[in-house]
Chain A
Amino acid sequence: MDFFDRFAIPNPSIAIYASMVAIGLTVVAIIAGLTYFKKWGYLWREWLTTVDHKRIGIMYLISALIMLFRGGVDAIMLRAQLAVPDNKLLDPQHYNEVFSTHGVIMVMFMAMPFIFAFMNYVVPLQIGARDVAFPRLNALSFWLFFFGAMLFNISFVIGGSPDAGWTSYFPLAGNDLSPHVGTNYYMMAIQISGIGSLMTGINMITTIFKMRAPGMTLMKMPMFTWSVLVTNLIIVTVFPVITVALAMGTMDRLFGTHFFATTNGGMDMLWANLFWVWGHPEVYILILPAFGLYSEIISTFSGRNLYGYKSMVASMVIISALSCMVWAHHFFTMGQGALANSFFSITTMMIAVPTGVKIFNWLFTLWKGKIRFTVPMLYSLGFIPLFVIGGVTGVMLAMSAADYQYHNTMFLVAHFHNTIIPGVVFAMLAGLTYYWPKMFGFMLNERIGKWAFWLLSIGFCLAFFPMYITGLDGQARRMYTYSEATGYGPLNMLSFVGAGVMAISFALIVYNVYYSVRYSPRNIGADPWDARSLEWATHTPVPEYNFAIEPHVASSEAFWDAKKKGHELFPGKVEKIHMPNSSGVPFIMSAIFFVFGFSMIFSLWIPAIISLIGIFACMAHRSFENDHGRYISVKEIEETETKLRGVN
């Protein structure tokens, strides 16, 4: 039995056993359901092997939503534990595991796939392309992300979860202080999904540079596409850093190297350094596509073109460069001198300038606009003031001398949630509501959506504003409890209430999906929001080839011009269309990656070697494969077009 001991949970509790049972039952239910309804073939043909950017986008979206709930449950547990002084709900070890997985899941497995969902779904449509540049690679990216996420999620029922924080600082994350396998999960799962992100970066850059519709020069691209381009430039620049850092960390933990050890010439601080060389640009990777979505939404619902297009682009490019020059602001207190700290203080504060430019551009877009208060617009309007608060507290943190006081307190926690929730999460929910009709052919209910927005905003303020105060009073982050004498009790209770309100809001969003599936009208046409860019110029549901005729573009709002100024979007006639074939290899290869990661985590060398050979075999298969794609004939296109035109 020794062999199986390693899979046991080091710190079991009732909750974990209950979730084991729940996971087991869910898996059985899914398998039984698929078998009963004979859906295995459908699942394999239409989803698991697809290379269609729209379907991949939808799969990213579903995964992100599921992870949002997993991370949300973690969050509620954390707030519940802190709600009253000297609480015994979670023991310290369990608390450590929960905040570590909460952070990793929200950043890597919720926010990242969410932005990838919109990148995948929207960018090819917005630039008038038929798919991304490398559709098969795109599928591989998705499945690597997916299996990475699954690997991370099984950690809390098999072997134990990471407990060294989402930043996983050494020496705490080293074998001496974190002996169980949790941190191995961290290293392998993020590594696997990170490789996927890197590939998406290359794929999207190539797509945007090479596949734009005729007439769409770089300065005529819609703002969301611009934001995606800049984001992916950052991805390609900084993801290699985390890849290498994780590989070094893995070697320290599994093979006894001393990169981040405190002995034998190792340097533990180097991990923090490398982590933030990636980590700070990573927060901009999340926020820039959100900015892009807000730009689209604000200009659509103000009925105006985006104010200051050029300055928007310039500020994003400046942000992309600056974001790689500020990383040390995450460890001002690590011991480097005043010179280094001052340098990074100044670069950090400089980022606030281009960000401010963008805020003013949105305000000027709203100025004298005919504003429609739809749900996506509400999120965008809520974003502006709330995000400004996050930015201002960021500048406070950026003063390195003052940061000695703020660092690692709840003040910091309040700051980054204040940027990430109104910045990223609001954008994702706004984008979800905005693109929902394009993806699924009906709208989400506006009334329920507005309730959800208000509850989320109020819940957010209740949950996070108190933390600014307790943080300034000295409440440290990542502490599993505090004594009554500190006086933190009432404000933490308020935070817990706020978290509860946010949970209700998310439940409402789920209910909204259910409600709208049942009751929403289906004959909404292809352009329900009266929008401006190309993605709304094709049918709903979008045919697999996106556009029967390649669009010709003369401005960044080609569709608006076509509607209002009679610009001819689709000159030319239908020709046969070349499309890529589906393939099961990305799925299989990623599944093998999962086995590889799992074997590495538990130091099962033989399966690890075998699966590594499997991975190379998949790559070799691809190299020697002869696959020239297929053609959709003119007749078939015309049939589809008439059918879809009937719908609208």
Chain B
Amino acid sequence: MSELFPRKQIMGFVFSLVLTAAALTVYFLHLSFAQGMAVLLITAFVQALLQLVVFMHAGETKDKWIIYGKVYFMIAMALITVFGTLLIFLWDM
């Protein structure tokens, strides 16, 4: 019976709801801009990873390095884009 019960999926689903609720608090709890952004960024990235691993089955095959490799590459490029943009418009304008 316990093999049939999709434990991982249910847990994942509950956890993703929790993350959504956490993000929603930013609206209700009058946080400062920095605090609010921190909460949003963290919940967004955890949420994305959760979806990828639990519901899109990354890491369940032998060639999972391809999927994770791509994800790492994209994250690296995204960070470069964001920090490069900050450099241009905030830190050195």
Contact = CB atoms under 8 A, between A and B. Distances in A.
Interface of A: 205, 209, 233, 236-238, 241, 267, 269-270, 273, 277, 321, 324-325, 327-328, 334-340, 343-344
Nearest to B86: A340
Contact of B84 (A205, A238, A325, A335): A325
B88 A340 contact: yes
A328 B81 contact: no
A270 B90 CA distance: 12
Interface size class of B (residues with CB under 8 A): 10 to 19
Contacts of B80: 324-325
B73 A336 contact: no
Contact of A269 (B73, B74, B76, B89): B89
Contacts of B38: none
A233 B87 contact: no
B57 interface: no
Contact of B89 (A233, A237, A327, A336): A336
A328 B84 contact: yes
Given A233-B70, A339-B92, A273 B77 contact: no
Contacts of A270: 89
Contacts of A335: 93
B88 A328 contact: yes
Nearest to A326: B84
29 contacts: A209-B63, A233-B73, A236-B70, A237-B77, A238-B77, A241-B81, A267-B89, A269-B89, A270-B89, A273-B88, A273-B89, A277-B81, A321-B76, A321-B77, A325-B80, A325-B84, A328-B84, A328-B88, A334-B88, A335-B93, A336-B87, A336-B89, A336-B92, A337-B93, A339-B91, A340-B91, A340-B92, A343-B87, A344-B84
Interface in B65-81: 66, 70, 73-74, 76-77, 80-81
A209 B93 contact: no
B93 to A, nearest CB: 5
Contacts of B85: 273, 277
Contacts of B74: 236-237
A500 B92 CA distance: 46
Nearest to A237: B77
Given A324-B80, A324-B81, A237 B92 contact: no
B66 A237 contact: no
Contacts of A338: 92
Given A233-B73, A237-B74, A237-B77, A327 B93 contact: no
Given A340-B87, A340-B88, A324 B77 contact: yes
A643 to B, nearest CB: 38
B62 to A, nearest CB: 12
Nearest to A238: B77
Interface in B40-82: 63, 66, 70, 73-74, 76-77, 80-81
A338 B77 CA distance: 23
A236 B85 CA distance: 20
Contacts of B70: 205, 233, 236
Contacts of B77: 237-238, 321, 324
Nearest to B74: A237
Contacts of B63: 209
Given A209-B66, A237-B73, A327 B84 contact: yes
A267 B73 CA distance: 29
